[in-house]
Structure 1
């Protein structure tokens, strides 16, 4: 049985065959091979990172990308002088003028050959993908008869109608990378054993976890369900507040995400804890919506209300209402910006690290009303959130009284920041509904 596990990401197909041919020479290493260049290689690695690998092996730009994104050690497969000479013998036996293109980290040995040999050879190394078009323009104007390059550059050359040949890494280069990977694993055996024990412990705990370094590298995750989509969503929230609570719903699944930060040996880390639950049917959630801070900010900042500076005129009133610590009631005619004011109250308040929960009364169905009143997962039984009960004028008197009673009984106004809004109307019934909330919940009224 192998002592260590290595994940080899091959940027091109032929390297897969070479790796599988060489791997049996290292029985201490269990080598898993996936094919994928650059972002595809990264996706393959991210899809396997929870499989207890000790080391990752790749080449060129793919290795560079993996090193930036993963916390596991990355061993690079080199392009050796022997690999270069074999490529020249195969594709340029007449010794014609040759350009070599690729990621600089894979071309160190090639550059040395170019510097100290009589070959008519120019090396064009790139560090980032967006540098390649400029390099190809130089090569196209350089009157080169032969082009040797990596797989990414070869595809780009083909798009420009330029004939290029793949500069492959041979069996000796792959073997050298496997040997260095094995040496590293043996040197760090004790530390990695301790890490494996900790990862197994974390994996057995109920919440799913994703841990990122301060630079955005994925250190660990035990996510399995909707893994690429969730990791992409978490990456969008690496910035912002240090401690944050998010909500994400996909189909019938609800993901409640808690973000926290900590430091270890002077480096910052971001941890996401993900709790998953089966959401009720869509009909049960009709009229109930959760929006994270970024969505609320986008809605508010793109509004005409903000563009005309209306929020600035209300800032003093909103600050005063927040200091009062009571529920806030918003009254006004249709089109007076109550929705934007509610968003501004949320964004100005202390709980933007948690979602804004909206109960849109006109959209409630019999089933969602039952969910709201009776389900233990109802937002009326939550805490530490901003709850906006929107358009209460749409409720009949009995429903309004029951909602007020439940809000009082659950103490939601003490646990959450509560906003209630209604349209002004000459209809006394509508006026009495908002008055009911104002009176019994002791609301601070903004008009």
Structure 2
């Protein structure tokens, strides 16, 4: 009988001991125990070759992290009502106030149990390990001396002078995970025995499948690839074989000819030989994507060559300190706020390009352009990456999202566990907390995105950054236009530093580009700088409506309302006054949007 190998990543010693004891009742199982929690767990599992194990058992965030880094099935030891009830009984017997601190799935178990038992529990949720110490301090300040929590909080608690009651997994919970491992293994084995059926299914799939051997020779193509419309883009996959040799897997969206294609690649070892398999799926035509102005898809390879890496890889990043790296390392949604032109979208791209999610594309939703019709098109499209797993999704200018769509977006995020399936980002040129306070933005949606917040200051408040940033951007623009510009005259520097920069970095880049293009020498002169800045001097702003008058009257009305709302910083009272209607009438028109 073939032995099934299971790696148990144990957050504490008793967890591993229970797993070993349980395995004695299953002669077909070999259990290996590795200690570890969160990031440390990955280091321990790398001691063993991943192909050695049929399944990995762990729990909570540790299990989530292992799924990101391992191709082996990972089984989560779920918290049972009995496990939670036992900790409540222990805490109650001490006779002192206690709180509960854990991840969202665990807190949900305690919440349901509290409703069932008709008891009040003080529940605190963290989405990232970096939040734990701050929450423990908050719990301590609230008068609690005990907290029911996991291992991360248990390690930090002594620094906060608070005692912990460990959330431990019972024997039944661990055994349930072992049984689930056996079920998954048996399912995979049955699938292997019916490989001919699966091969037939792949051969007739409408998506393309192509496999190369280690000599980069094509050894399999399915019928879809043989179709001449797909064979041409498939031939361009050979360039990614070297990448798979080093990274083992990839996921990108590329424009090839007139279509956007989703490309999944994986390095496969079979009988000591490596193969490189690609799955090719047609998403959108280029013409269609230009019409759908609210969405765009990019991969890290393309973004990394662009502007975002220039401004965020130098002095600007140093100014923000450790917050950018913390956002890169985090798995929680990121909210980036700041005035127009402060580089919010570019910072999002930089974080994405340096995160663990960079292997899958970044999808940007322009909330200014997102309408009811386009939202329905997005959600009802079975090829929409929203429904998939592992992407990075940016909601750009989320403060401009229509109120009715704010509710629907939050319902979708919560109802589909979107924040666990994808890495979410949002940007806003308006203070969302202020909008929430004034009932002008959805509080639940704000909560969905405010797990990690970065606020970017305008250049007018950071004059010390202007010249160093200008020097970095000047070097990049000079290379871009094959010009030899390396600095500014002293008076030109003064002009740059004293300019108000109402459009911030975007305007700085535009000015520097004009200077480089029009400069005749290595040093940019004061005279040229003055000429360019004079043209940029803020003048009285005359807004351009540019409404699409071919739309139905109801849609034009909605466009006008949203335009005035944005001009009024989403202040409903001010917008209603400008429109000459009552606040309640404005609210009714907003909520009655198609």
In the superposition, the TM-score normalised over structure 2's length comes to 0.35
**Higher strand content, 1 or 2:** 1
